């Protein structure tokens, strides 16, 4: 699936650690200037994939092509990338200036050029006043900005970020991810970020590669992956989803419990057992209960600032509570309370349907 404009292509990459298959025939294409995230649960292989691209890990099979050159046989030192790790990895005994200039000195840059470049980078990451400070004198967020400046000092064409925000506290993390995004907009540098945080990936990436057990489960824009998750794993990992069991009645109708919902184009044969995936914000509640709509009893209500999260006990999900998110508008939302019996509808345009694997 190499695209004509692909800047980085990973082709049929596998990585074995002993007998353990950490990457299983992974193929991806990334265009020049894209910001992509490798997203998945702990142990899914995202760091291993990033490390193979950097040459810090040697693949067992497969090829990596960067800018039309096969790089998978090259040592790290001959590859064109900058990298930022989760744990900053700054030299503690060097000042910010020296941390950034270190690589440039090794490349034999002229002293005057180094000073000019480091000052430019310190300005770019907003830390010009901290040039003489040591890493221990900086906050976590500041250290990570210095690590970023160091990573791009020699103007690489590829930036690799290995969970760069995960050691930071929640507020700094959100702030720095916005900075990373605007930084990317300004420089247009092809960037790959590894993260296990779906919110982070959704908010920052042009495209997301969702991984599980060494495989790419789906890739696409954040909006596409969220709205059209191609399998239950992705639907569950990205955001929240209610899974409701049903059975296909015909090409347009799925039966859930004793009721029917319209779902045109589900593509499953009559009688197929399916899982209907409904996002919490796509369920409409009503106080009126009629024969044709589902109903449930409010088991819990959480106030989450701009919206309410309502947990319903309903016969269509016998083992779990149905989760409904409602923006706080109107009297109905304010008056809803535990014990109420309410009706609900699932908006067919916002549902996904998967075959049950039994
Ligand atoms: P996390 O978010 O926890 O860092 P990850 O998705 O980045 O997870 P990897 O670090 O890529 O996961 O690891 C993938 C799998 O390969 C894990 O099961 C891990 O234990 C295993 N693994 C990674 N490095 C090695 C190694 N050097 N030797 C043996 N197994 C390894």
Task: Please name the residues in contact with 7: beta carbons below 8 A apart, sequence gap of 6 or more.
Answer: 30, 31, 32, 33, 34, 66, 67, 157, 158, 190
The pair of three-digit structure tokens given for residue 48, joined into one six-digit string: 């291993």
- The CATH number covering residue 305 comes to 2.40.50.140
Pick the residue whose CA is nearest to atom 11 on ligand 1: 45
Q: Quick one: pLDDT at residue 334?
A: 64
Residue among 135, 181, 176 at smallest CA distance from 159: 181
pLDDT (tens place) for every residue of the chain, 358 residues total: 445 579 999 999 999 999 999 999 999 999 999 999 999 999 999 999 999 999 999 999 999 999 999 999 999 999 999 999 888 689 999 999 999 999 999 888 999 999 999 999 999 888 999 999 999 999 888 998 999 999 999 999 999 999 988 878 888 888 888 888 988 998 899 999 999 999 999 999 999 999 999 999 999 999 999 999 999 999 999 988 999 999 999 988 999 988 888 887 778 999 999 999 999 999 999 888 887 789 999 999 998 888 899 999 999 998 899 999 988 776 556 678 899 999 999 887 788 999 987 6
Q: Quick one: pLDDT at residue 172?
A: 82
Q: Quick one: pLDDT at residue 207?
A: 97
| Ligand 1 center–CA 57 separation, angstroms | 11
**The whole model's pTM is what?**
0.89
Q: Quick one: pLDDT at residue 120?
A: 92
Q: Which atom of ligand 1 is nearest to the CA of 214?
A: 14
Which single residue is written with the structure tokens 């404009």?
5
Q: Quick one: pLDDT at residue 263?
A: 83
Q: Quick one: pLDDT at residue 5?
A: 78
Shared domain check, 77 and 133: yes
Residue among 329, 295, 328 at smallest CA distance from 309: 328
89-102 burial, b if ≥16 CB within 10 A, otherwise e? Answer: ebeeeebbbbbbbb
Best mutation site among 15, 17, 85 for ligand 1, i.e. most ligand atoms within 8 A of its Cβ?
A: 17
**Which domain covers residue 351, as residue numbers?**
240-355
Burial of 270 (0-12, 13-18, 19+ CB in 10 A): exposed
Shared domain check, 70 and 194: yes
Residue 114 belongs to a domain: yes
d(CA 210, CA 217): 6
Would you say how long the chain is, in residues? Answer: 358
Shared domain check, 136 and 18: yes
Shared domain check, 131 and 30: yes
Residue 99 belongs to a domain: yes
Residue 1 belongs to a domain: no
d(CA 130, CA 143): 10
Domain stop point among 179, 207, 234 = 234
- The CATH number covering residue 117 comes to 3.40.50.300
| Ligand 1 center–CA 28 separation, angstroms | 19
Shared domain check, 155 and 12: yes
Which single residue is written with the structure tokens 């400046």?
149
| Ligand 1 center–CA 43 separation, angstroms | 5
Shared domain check, 256 and 142: no
Pocket of ligand 1 (CB under 6 A): 17, 20, 22, 40, 42-48, 196
Alpha helices in the chain (DSSP H): 46-54, 96-106, 111-124, 140-151, 170-187, 198-204, 222-227, 232-237, 330-335
Domain stop point among 181, 203, 234 = 234
Pick the residue whose CA is nearest to atom 9 on ligand 1: 45
Pick the residue whose CA is nearest to atom 1 on ligand 1: 42
Helix axes 96-106, 111-124, angle to 10 degrees: 130
Q: Beta strand pairing status for 341-346 and 283-286?
A: antiparallel
| Ligand 1 center–CA 230 separation, angstroms | 25
């Amino acid at each position: 699936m190499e695209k004509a404009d692909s800047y980085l292509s990973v082709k049929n990459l596998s990585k074995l650690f002993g007998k353990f298959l950490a990457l299983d025939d992974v193929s991806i294409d990334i265009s020049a200037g894209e910001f992509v995230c490798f997203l998945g649960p702990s142990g899914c292989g995202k760091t291993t994939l990033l490390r193979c691209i950097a040459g810090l890990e040697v693949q067992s099979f497969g090829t990596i092509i960067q800018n039309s050159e096969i790089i998978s046989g090259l040592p790290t030192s001959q590859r064109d990338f900058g990298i930022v790790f989760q744990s900053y990895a700054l030299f503690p005994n060097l000042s910010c200036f020296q941390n950034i200039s270190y690589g440039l000195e090794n490349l034999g840059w002229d002293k005057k050029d180094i000073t000019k470049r480091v000052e430019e980078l310190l300005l770019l990451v907003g830390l010009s006043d901290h040039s003489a400070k040591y890493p221990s004198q900086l906050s976590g967020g500041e250290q990570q900005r210095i690590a970023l400046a160091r990573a791009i000092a020699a103007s690489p064409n590829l930036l690799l970020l290995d969970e760069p925000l995960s050691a930071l506290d929640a507020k700094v993390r959100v702030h720095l991810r916005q900075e990373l995004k605007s930084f990317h907009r300004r420089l247009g540098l092809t960037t790959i970020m590894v993260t296990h945080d779906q919110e982070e990936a959704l908010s920052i990436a042009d495209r997301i590669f969702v991984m599980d057990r060494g495989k790419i489960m789906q890739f696409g824009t954040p909006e596409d992956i969220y709205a059209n998750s191609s399998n239950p794993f992705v639907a569950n990992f990205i955001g929240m989803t209610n899974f409701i069991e049903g059975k296909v009645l015909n090409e347009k109708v799925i039966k859930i419990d004793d009721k029917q919902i319209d779902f045109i184009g589900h593509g499953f044969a009559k009688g197929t057992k399916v899982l209907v995936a409904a996002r919490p914000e796509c369920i409409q509640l009503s106080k009126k209960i009629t024969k044709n709509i589902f109903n449930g009893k409010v088991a819990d209500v959480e106030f989450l600032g701009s919206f309410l999260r309502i947990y319903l006990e309903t016969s269509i999900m016998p083992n779990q509570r149905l989760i409904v998110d409602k923006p706080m508008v109107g009297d109905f939302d304010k008056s809803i309370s535990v014990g109420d019996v309410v009706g609900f509808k699932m908006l067919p345009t916002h549902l996904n349907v998967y075959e049950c694997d039994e």
